[in-house]
Amino acid sequence: MNEKVPFSKPYRSKNEAKFIEQVLHSGKTAGGGKFTQIAQQQIQSSIGGNCLLTNSCTAALEISALLLDIQPGDEVILPSYTFPSTANSFLLRGATIKFVDSQANHPNMDLDHLEELISEKTKAIVPMYYGGVSSDWSRLKTLQEHYKFYIIEEAAQAFGASFKEKPLGSLGDLAVFSFHETKNISCGEGGALIINKRDWNAPAEIIWEKGTNRAAFKRGEIDKYEWVALGSSYVNSELNAAYLVAQLEESSTWLEARKKQWNYYFEQLSCLEEKGVLLPQIPDFANHNAHIFYLVLKSPEELQSLKIHLSENGIDALMHYRCLHKSSYFKEKYVGKPLTNAEKFESRLLRLPLHSDVPLDLIITKITDFFKAR
């Protein structure tokens, strides 16, 4: 093959260049302007709550930790099989992190093992929706009502997905999304914080604006602004917001197309299950957004062989997270049980290309050829 099949490729919408040009013409490229407000309204209309557009999902997580007033001694429970930002945001505030294992058949956190980690010091639980697949919110709510902790939905991969009929992002006290280049809907770098507690809206806005009441000043509510709380530089660029508005306008169309691709993968590769390969498992309560299609191979050796085979045929397939509990940074600090399911996904999960130009039949053929030869 002369041209490599990339793992991901941003979707292009029709109005990106037009909206970015409008921002450039206005001369106001810093965040918080017209397109930031439009994007926030678009997200609120599909999810609910109050939305603040951020320069990354990491920024939204850091705002969450400040909003919850995380202090040394507070405990935060999150999956080991996730991105480091999920842990960093709370460690930066002095929290003690407890890692929960993945489910046996899915990378999401195992709720059967969650309760044993909860203590009187538990301040928050952070369920990560791997591949845009919801956790079981009926069980999470029951635990929350009993133990009285906060829930932050780590929905970086989950824009457009839902638990039953409820949009992900509308269920927890807070939720965070990513609009990174690799996500279904993107703006290069960007994220969003969803605030589902009305009395947190004002303090969240202050943290978002570097600890100042600048947003209120821009609305004409005060005649000057000043430093009033801890915060940081979390506001996104107006250029990124314009890009995102164009993407959001077409998000439902693109989601439908991506779902068809995901389903085609599943239909054509389901024959691999008889060879011991695990395909994505979607529970009845979850309406996913087709963010990731992956295979879980029988062994790390089989994964590496398939990965090499696909690469030799010009197809870029990727592994994913390294378990945080055994990372070079955290392994000496980890106190807990072996997280065998998370470690299984670390060494055996392979993600397949999924984007608007992906040659599905070619990839499927190369995968099935690999297994026929074994």
154 and 33 co-located in one domain: yes
Range of the domain at 292: 251-372
What's the rounded Cα separation, in Å, for the pair 152 and 364? Answer: 37
CATH of the domain at 305: 3.90.1150.10
Which among 192, 222, 249 is the end of a domain? 249
Model confidence pLDDT, tens digit, residues 113-137? 999 999 999 999 999 999 999 999 9
Q: How many domains in the chain?
A: 2
Contact between 57 and 180 (Cβ < 8 Å) = yes
In a domain, 316, yes or no: yes
273 and 243 co-located in one domain: no
In a domain, 86, yes or no: yes
DSSP per residue, 275-332: GTPBPP---TTEE------EEE-SSHHHHHHHHHHHHHTTB--B--PPPGGGSTTTTT
In a domain, 217, yes or no: yes
Q: Is the pLDDT of residue 234 over 60?
A: yes
298 and 185 co-located in one domain: no
175 and 291 co-located in one domain: no
279 and 241 co-located in one domain: no
32 and 132 co-located in one domain: yes
In a domain, 192, yes or no: yes
List Cβ neighbours of 35 (8 Å cut-off, separation of 6 or more): 19, 23, 238, 241, 242, 244, 245
What's the rounded Cα separation, in Å, for the pair 144 and 304? Answer: 40
Model confidence pLDDT, tens digit, residues 323-358? 999 999 999 999 999 999 999 999 999 999 999 999
Query: Which run of H or E residues covers position 340?
Result: helix 340-348
Model confidence pLDDT, tens digit, residues 64-117? 999 999 999 999 999 999 999 999 999 999 999 999 999 999 999 999 999 999
180 and 290 co-located in one domain: no
Which among 249, 266, 301 is the end of a domain? 249
In a domain, 6, yes or no: no
169 and 146 co-located in one domain: yes
In a domain, 358, yes or no: yes
Contact between 75 and 125 (Cβ < 8 Å) = no
49 and 119 co-located in one domain: yes
Which among 249, 282, 308 is the end of a domain? 249
* Residue 95 half-sphere exposure toward CB, CA atoms < 13 A: 28
With left for phi above 0 and alpha for psi between -120 and 50, is residue 321 left, alpha or beta?
A: beta
Is 342 in a helix, a strand, or coil? helix
Higher pLDDT, 215 or 94: 94
Q: Is the pLDDT of residue 374 over 60?
A: yes
In a domain, 34, yes or no: yes
pLDDT at 3: 77
- pLDDT tier for residue 2 given thresholds of 50, 70 and 90: low
CATH of the domain at 152: 3.40.640.10
For the entire predicted model, the pTM comes to 0.96
In a domain, 7, yes or no: no
243 and 140 co-located in one domain: yes
**C-alpha closest to that of 130 among 151, 99, 107, 100:** 107
287 and 211 co-located in one domain: no
Please compute the mean of the pLDDT values over residues 199-203 and round it to a whole number: 96
Phi, psi of 293 (to 5 degrees): -115, 130
Amino acid symbol at 136: D
What's the rounded Cα separation, in Å, for the pair 192 and 53? Answer: 4
259 and 325 co-located in one domain: yes
Cβ atoms within 10 Å of 219's Cβ, excluding its own: 8
